[in-house]
Chains A and B, each alone.
Chain A
Amino acid sequence: MKLEGGKISSSHLTFLMIGFMIGSSLIFIPGQTAGHDAWLAILAGLAEGLVFAVIYTTLAMRFAGKTLVQFNDIVYGPYLGKAISIAYLWYFFHLASLVLRSFGDFFTAIIFPETPMIVFIVLTALICATAVRNGLEVITRCGLILVVTMSLAVLTTTILLFKDMKLTNFLPVFDIPLKDFIKASHSAATFPFGETVAFLMVICFLENVKFAKSSAIKALIITGLLLVMASVRSIGVLGVTAPIHTYPSFQAVRLINIGNILTRLEIIVVGNLLAMGFLKISVLYYGTVLGTAQLLKLRSYLPLVLPIGAMLVSFSILQFDSVIENIFFTFEIYPYYVIPFQIGLPLLSLIIAIVRGLPKD
């Protein structure tokens, strides 16, 4: 029984992971609560995230060829394992709906104020559904193209803003209490680095699982640098005004003005968001669908794509009434809500696997 016939190479995995992590974090820059030290918070968060990534890839390499849902059964036994898998599927599903919702909020708030949010959410979900139906290889190939374009766009907009950046905005370095800094850096670790736990559904399709660890680490470091660049861009340009903005990156790029000719480039940020968000939602959506199929021992995951997509759409609209609820959840609850999924359970699984010498061949 094979649900997914595709194989991905390690470099494809790196690109997909970058796209996944950049996802919506390019507009909601992580570590924002650290003020002008946000870039330091991202670096600290990256360090924490690397620990997560090592745990995930060690697990994936130990249970080569098995997804999270499959090895949960081995580690925790058929009943508890299934319960944990269901919890994880919920998390992937919820995260995908959160990203979809951020999409909808962004577009209705900034670009098309009079269009109902459901239009964007349904269209995005349809595109992602097509990608998921076509399987993992299609998603990874999209990742390759989109991530390269996105990185170039981030680089270009940063260069174009060089003249508007004030280095003094970064001084004095480390100007916040340690407690707040740790809170900010932990929030950066959970969003986006720790979210790579979803790749436990994907890594098993790697051609050569030996390279899992190195490609994940590469992906995390590149993402960290891109996010630092984006956060330096926002802080350097916006300074003390950065924290009052709903979407600082977008606001920063709006200020690009090269000789009154090169202006109004903010649509680049929107394009990035669209492309990266597509990758993130697709991976999570794929993980949910594949995991559900494995859990229910189906022969194919295709019949699940549209029903789960419909649930995604409705859940993403129903879960918050306003953007304020979304922001509150993202910054105040999310960092704690994800602890069991991102670190607790994976670490426990790894310890159990090592102690019991799993998997037994």
Chain B
Amino acid sequence: MPKRRKILFKLIIFIIFILSIAGCWNRRELDTLAIVFGVGIDKAKKPGNIEITAQVIKPGEMKSPQGGSGGGGEKPYWNLTSSGKTIFSAVREFTHKSNRKLYFPHNEIIIFSEDIAKEGIRKYMDFFIRDPEIRRLVWVLVAKGNASEVLETKAILEKVPARNIAQLIEARAATSQASAVRLQEFLTRLMSKTTAPIASVIEITREKKEKIARLIGTAVFKDDKLVGYLNKSETRGLLWVIGEVKSGIIVVKSPGGNGEVSLEIIHASSKIIPEIKDNNIHIRVEITEEGNLGEQTSAEDLTSLPAWTVLERRQSEAIHNEVRRALKKAQELNTDIFAFGEAVHRKYPELWKDIENRWDEYFPNIEVTINVNAKLRRSGMTTKPPKPE
């Protein structure tokens, strides 16, 4: 008899375990999810409220239509909007319109409209970092104009606009003239006492009546409020300093005077070194760059040593100027986008305690030396330009 009871006991245990393994309590099947690819946040008409646009993909329409694109097929995405006092309440409002609950782990971008960003976005950040569904690898952008409109731009090579924008951000490495900021990086800057947050900027251009999203420049925040933008070259100036330049083209005048030369950036790195000189904080920025000769429009031979040296010098001057421009803009806006403050904190922790709260008074007048060590390495498949000897 006891033996039988033991078997029964084991059987019960087995059944409990088997049931609990197969039946996940809050399982979510693919056909009950609305997968969000992008989120846009705008001001709602009602004061104090916000309007959220979520771009949800329609898996059925994602298949490439037979016999080429165009024609009958519907848009493979659906932009839902809803509004509320807080992000979370607005997100849940979606269920009044969508039969499926929104699913955020595949979200790639969060776009804030300009007006929202100008008022401060810290209060809207909390949801995105507290909710376990949202990943820190999403990109943070500021839209010049409405965020919802950006999510309706035409994506030609991609099916979903949000996907297209996320890939624009990854493609920006080819020019380094637009910032790319992930939520984690944005959060780190937002939590720093002195470093100013930055975000990518997305704007809408019209080409042949089509709305096209264009990623360019940098949005600069003071604390959590948008205060200004950096243009293309200022953005690259910023990226030189923070060591985020991946690639890009520097156009300089040809040493002989006629025509232009394109130099391709191959590799870049930087160092920020704070120093104390005559009781003043002084920042030295060391930038190392390597480039290749990519194109010339003049007819002269650039592969001679003297011309090569002139090119190298012009290259570092060009970098120098970009950094100067970024620095001027940042000091005008009084935003420490370069994290100079953190560098001082690391090197002079004792001094930092005194000036931490007054960094805003120091930063606009801080003296910065820029040392650029730019090298030209290779000249590509040819040496001399194609012309008769």
| Chain A contacts to B: CB under 8 angstroms | 109-110, 112-116, 119, 123, 126, 130, 168, 171-172, 175, 238-241, 244, 251, 254-255, 257, 263-264
Q: Indicate with 1 or 0, residue by residue over B176-213, a CB within 8 angstroms of chain A CB atoms.
A: 00000000100110011000000000000000000000
Check A126/B191 contact, CB under 8 A, given A115-B26, A255-B184: no
Report A-chain residues with C-beta under 8 Å of the C-beta of B192: 240
Q: Is A110 touching B132 in the complex (CB atoms < 8 A)?
A: yes
Closest chain A residue to B26, Cβ basis: A114
Chain B contact-residue range equals 20 to 34
Report B-chain residues with C-beta under 8 Å of the C-beta of A254: 135-136
Report A-chain residues with C-beta under 8 Å of the C-beta of B1: none
Q: Considering the complex of A and B, which 9 residue pairs feature the smallest CB-CB distances, nearest first?
A: A114-B26, A115-B25, A171-B346, A172-B349, A240-B191, A110-B132, A241-B187, A239-B188, A172-B346
Check A255/B137 contact, CB under 8 A, given A126-B13, A172-B346, A240-B191: yes
Closest chain A residue to B132, Cβ basis: A110
Closest chain A residue to B25, Cβ basis: A115
Interface assignment of B16: CB less than 8 Å from any CB of chain A: yes
Report A-chain residues with C-beta under 8 Å of the C-beta of B20: 119, 123
- Measured CB to CB, the closest approach of chain A to B126, in angstroms, equals 10
Closest chain A residue to B166, Cβ basis: A260
- Measured CB to CB, the closest approach of chain A to B87, in angstroms, equals 17
In Å, the complex CA distance between A113 and B17 comes to 20
Q: Is B132 touching A263 in the complex (CB atoms < 8 A)?
A: no
Closest chain A residue to B105, Cβ basis: A264
Closest chain B residue to A116, Cβ basis: B25
In Å, the complex CA distance between A239 and B347 comes to 17
Q: Indicate which residue in B129, B132, B345 contacts A172 across the interface (CB closer than 8 Å).
A: B345
Check A175/B187 contact, CB under 8 A, given A110-B132, A254-B135: no
Q: Is B349 touching A175 in the complex (CB atoms < 8 A)?
A: yes
In Å, the complex CA distance between A110 and B105 comes to 13
Contacts A119-B25, A172-B349, A241-B187 aside, 11 further interface pairs with beta carbons under 8 A come to A119-B20, A123-B20, A126-B16, A168-B346, A171-B346, A172-B345, A172-B346, A238-B184, A244-B129, A255-B136, A255-B137
Q: Indicate with 1 or 0, residue by residue over B48-74, a CB within 8 angstroms of chain A CB atoms.
A: 000000000000000000000000000
Q: Is A240 touching B25 in the complex (CB atoms < 8 A)?
A: no
In Å, the complex CA distance between A172 and B105 comes to 35
Q: Is B26 touching A112 in the complex (CB atoms < 8 A)?
A: yes
In Å, the complex CA distance between A240 and B187 comes to 9
In Å, the complex CA distance between A34 and B135 comes to 26
Check A241/B188 contact, CB under 8 A, given A112-B25, A115-B26, A123-B20: yes
Interface assignment of B152: CB less than 8 Å from any CB of chain A: no
Q: Is A240 touching B188 in the complex (CB atoms < 8 A)?
A: yes
Enumerate B209-251 residues with CB–CB distance to A below 8 Å: none
In Å, the complex CA distance between A115 and B20 comes to 12
Q: Is B345 touching A114 in the complex (CB atoms < 8 A)?
A: no
- Measured CB to CB, the closest approach of chain B to A76, in angstroms, equals 40
In Å, the complex CA distance between A244 and B16 comes to 38
- Measured CB to CB, the closest approach of chain B to A60, in angstroms, equals 35
A and B contact pairs by CB, cutoff 8 A, 6 listed: A119-B20, A168-B346, A172-B346, A172-B347, A175-B349, A257-B137
- Measured CB to CB, the closest approach of chain A to B131, in angstroms, equals 10
Report A-chain residues with C-beta under 8 Å of the C-beta of B346: 168, 171-172
Interface assignment of B342: CB less than 8 Å from any CB of chain A: yes
Q: Is B188 touching A263 in the complex (CB atoms < 8 A)?
A: no
In Å, the complex CA distance between A113 and B342 comes to 38
In Å, the complex CA distance between A239 and B187 comes to 10
- Measured CB to CB, the closest approach of chain A to B267, in angstroms, equals 16
Report B-chain residues with C-beta under 8 Å of the C-beta of A116: 25
In Å, the complex CA distance between A263 and B26 comes to 23
Enumerate B154-193 residues with CB–CB distance to A below 8 Å: 184, 187-188, 191-192
Report A-chain residues with C-beta under 8 Å of the C-beta of B24: 112
Closest chain B residue to A172, Cβ basis: B349
Closest chain A residue to B184, Cβ basis: A255
Report A-chain residues with C-beta under 8 Å of the C-beta of B184: 238, 241, 255
Q: Indicate which residue in A113, A172, A244, A251 contacts B136 across the interface (CB closer than 8 Å).
A: A251
Q: Is A241 touching B137 in the complex (CB atoms < 8 A)?
A: no
